Structure 1
């Protein structure tokens, strides 16, 4: 299996090689075209000069007469091989004495017959040399009397192109070598932090969350390091909260169990005729059993909620009636603890599509906290309203409040506040999960020694009855 470093290096090399190869092909092709075009331009100027001289000074005597008497006129302006052809392509004259029996029928000849400059590049008859031919008409007035051809070897031109191409290839090879070295360095710079991150992540996977990964940059890798370190901190924090939660729950379970066991032993030893003692003992055992059952049910509810294994039984319910019912149910406790409990509905709330029992559980948990943390003589006020397309339920108390340190954490699972009345740290977590399951939000506003306000916000567009 290839490592990331090998993959990066090979990818960089491929891109560099491909880029250099394309550049080399483009440059060499451009140089070749430039030199060939320059040669063609030179021959074209020379052949036009000869053709114009013929048309001006020799055409009156005829082509054959000009050939027999002034042959050198046609090639004294060029070093190329010069041929004079008749209109059928037969060679009338060749400056180097070349002769062939078959008429010439090349592309440049045909183009010249149409009164246009023609040119062609081709291989010599022995295939060892590349030649360029330029053809142009010899005219008397407007009529074409023959064709003049300039033929030159491209050997020298190709040699120059080869030397320049070799120079370009050497530069390209140097660029590939240098870029490959740089790509190895860049790959190493990228993969070294990745290796460190991998080692750190493996340690975290093995359970070592105390050792942090060193951050070496502020790029995506740096953000990945921050995320992993934050994750390890959160795991450590949750581990600590879990341990505290287990200790707290153990204490909460131990107290009623100890009481139940103590009274069971006491009743087994007491006088069976003492009915008052039996009645008191059985009542305490019943109350402690209920307390134990409630705690176990909270734990089961919380486990189902956080693992998304709970199924809501939703139907249209009258939220105003449920709130009034919960106030009525809590009124006796409020009276017993000397706390003023009130409810105010600013306007009529629409029916909501929700789980009735879970909403009762939500309101009961919040009211239970409000009573628990509000001293005698305090107030708990419930207000509801329909505002900006949301249903807003506020439960405000005048209790002890929540410290700035605890406030951001009170909805976290297992978190138990510093107040001595705090229990197992799952009540508000359950409330938060219930509200989330109804697409709402749970907000908690509080100041220490001034009280707490819990807000339940439900979006109207997903809850209003048609």
Structure 2
């Protein structure tokens, strides 16, 4: 492909130069042709007209033969043109070489001179071995034509000069085209070179080497592409690091409960099952750790659906107040065991939403679970609900460790867990945001480090008919 770009650039630039050179060469050749031949014709015409005017004025009364002899005798020794005097039939009476003959000249300039005045003729092809230029002017007596004064000159020397100039111009044109071709090679290299470098970096990235960086050589579109490619590689590296951290976290989350379950299982197998207290304690630990594993697996399953865009909700009119009251009963016992106070402020009026009860329960269970997880003993967790115009707003607040400002913006993105050492996959909040988004709502997080966190859920209010 790159060879194709280079070849096209060289071809296009060379073609453009070729067309320009051909156009300029054509204009130049036409200009030279008209300049040399036109100047020679103008000089010849001026001399013929001046001579004819003089002889017509001062030789009035003389016959055409007498005028012919007079013209011959008074020709300048420096006259380079061939001068001929013709009668009205076009026969040569005498010429500047002193010869008289019965030769008849029937060129267009002679016919024009006899019929309507001065005639001009230029042969583009050789006549009698050479190309000529001729000007004929009528010789008059009492207003009537009695003959023709004809000046002619060979155009071959002029054509030789023109050909020499044209050949020189052609050589110059070829040099210009050659120079343009070399220049096109340089331009193509400067354009294709950075693209080749970007292609090489892209291939490195394709093999997994995201540390490869593209060099920004010029401040143009290709330079912008290099910067974009580098930015993409940095973002991929960040994403890869988050994924590796996520895998490490999930591995740890899986290993910890499995280790506890295995340890207590071995203890119960090897111990005395008659010790009811120890047996119940072991079964309680194993049940709790099993619940942790189930929650983690559910998060992973939901995340896979989230990635595939397959999370769906079954929307039905529902009073959210009932769900919140059930959750209060569910988490009140947990608050007592962890010595955390649980407060609620739920209005008596209905909280109608068009939602999926199972998915909404998943969201609020996750938010309350996080609140209890990050709140130390003697702390407090509260859940409040309110109706504001077209929205149902539910807020879960804790007095836990809070979230640092640097982590707050990234919280809720996939794989991101933050700096907390608490257990968890870092997927729960991202899944919650997705579910609330499918309900047409949104989740906002407000937090102050070491003070606490508030998670605000906004859902569209269902208008009952």
Using the size of structure 1 for normalisation, the TM-score is: 0.71
Q: Which moved more, 1:435-444 or 1:219-228?
A: 435-444
Q: Which residue of 1 aligns with 2:154?
A: 153
The Cα of 1:241 is off from its aligned counterpart by 1.9
The Cα of 1:180 is off from its aligned counterpart by 4.2
Q: Which moved more, 1:39-48 or 1:241-250?
A: 39-48
- Structure label with greater radius of gyration: 2
Q: Which moved more, 1:166-175 or 1:409-418?
A: 166-175
CA distance in 2, matches of 1:143, 1:392: 118
CA distance in 2, matches of 1:380, 1:144: 126
1:234 aligns with 2:260: no
Q: Which runs of 5+ in 2 are unaligned?
A: none
Map 1:158-177 onto structure 2 (within 5 A): 158-177=159-178
The Cα of 1:416 is off from its aligned counterpart by 1.8
The Cα of 1:417 is off from its aligned counterpart by 0.7
Secondary structure of 2:243's partner?
A: helix
Provide closer, same or farther for how the CA distance between residues 169 and 290 of structure 1 changes in structure 2, counting only shifts above 3 A: same
Map 1:238-317 onto structure 2 (within 5 A): 238-262=239-263, 264-265=265-266, 285-308=286-309, 310=310, 312=312
Secondary structure of 2:124's partner?
A: strand
The Cα of 1:249 is off from its aligned counterpart by 0.8
Match of 1:331 among 317, 320, 328: 328
Query: CA offsets per residue over residues 181-202 of structure 1, 9 Å max, x none?
Result: 4444444444544444444333
Provide closer, same or farther for how the CA distance between residues 198 and 442 of structure 1 changes in structure 2, counting only shifts above 3 A: farther
Match of 1:124 among 113, 117, 126: 126
CA contact (8 A) 1:398 1:452 kept: yes
Corresponding residue pairs, total: 448
CA distance in 1, matches of 2:92, 2:428: 114
Provide closer, same or farther for how the CA distance between residues 218 and 270 of structure 1 changes in structure 2, counting only shifts above 3 A: same
Q: Which moved more, 1:408-417 or 1:74-83?
A: 74-83
Using the size of structure 2 for normalisation, the TM-score is: 0.71
Provide closer, same or farther for how the CA distance between residues 51 and 206 of structure 1 changes in structure 2, counting only shifts above 3 A: same
Q: Which moved more, 1:115-124 or 1:141-150?
A: 141-150
CA distance in 1, matches of 2:250, 2:14: 61
Provide closer, same or farther for how the CA distance between residues 118 and 102 of structure 1 changes in structure 2, counting only shifts above 3 A: closer
The Cα of 1:382 is off from its aligned counterpart by 5.7
Map 1:211-230 onto structure 2 (within 5 A): 211-230=212-231
CA distance in 2, matches of 1:115, 1:393: 108
Q: Which runs of 5+ in 1 are unaligned?
A: none
CA distance in 2, matches of 1:23, 1:458: 75
RMSD of aligned alpha carbons? 5.1
Secondary structure of 1:253's partner?
A: helix
Secondary structure of 1:49's partner?
A: helix
Query: CA offsets per residue over residues 148-207 of structure 1, 9 Å max, x none?
Result: 654433322223323333443443344444444444444444454444444433333333
Provide closer, same or farther for how the CA distance between residues 164 and 292 of structure 1 changes in structure 2, counting only shifts above 3 A: same
CA contact (8 A) 1:415 1:425 kept: yes
CA contact (8 A) 1:334 1:341 kept: no
Provide closer, same or farther for how the CA distance between residues 161 and 284 of structure 1 changes in structure 2, counting only shifts above 3 A: same
Provide closer, same or farther for how the CA distance between residues 28 and 258 of structure 1 changes in structure 2, counting only shifts above 3 A: same
Secondary structure of 2:165's partner?
A: helix
The Cα of 1:68 is off from its aligned counterpart by 4.2
Map 1:57-76 onto structure 2 (within 5 A): 61=61, 64=64, 68=68, 70-72=70-72
CA distance in 1, matches of 2:175, 2:449: 72
Q: Which residue of 2 aligns with 1:104?
A: 107
Provide closer, same or farther for how the CA distance between residues 55 and 303 of structure 1 changes in structure 2, counting only shifts above 3 A: farther
CA contact (8 A) 1:379 1:398 kept: yes
CA distance in 2, matches of 1:369, 1:292: 16
Secondary structure of 2:255's partner?
A: helix
CA contact (8 A) 1:112 1:118 kept: no
Q: Which residue of 1 aligns with 2:36?
A: 35
CA contact (8 A) 1:55 1:139 kept: yes
The Cα of 1:418 is off from its aligned counterpart by 0.6
Q: Which residue of 1 aligns with 2:3?
A: 3
1:429 aligns with 2:430: yes
CA contact (8 A) 1:342 1:382 kept: yes
The Cα of 1:304 is off from its aligned counterpart by 2.8
Query: CA offsets per residue over residues 354-377 of structure 1, 9 Å max, x none?
Result: 878666655654565455445633
Provide closer, same or farther for how the CA distance between residues 33 and 246 of structure 1 changes in structure 2, counting only shifts above 3 A: same
Q: Which moved more, 1:246-255 or 1:442-451?
A: 442-451
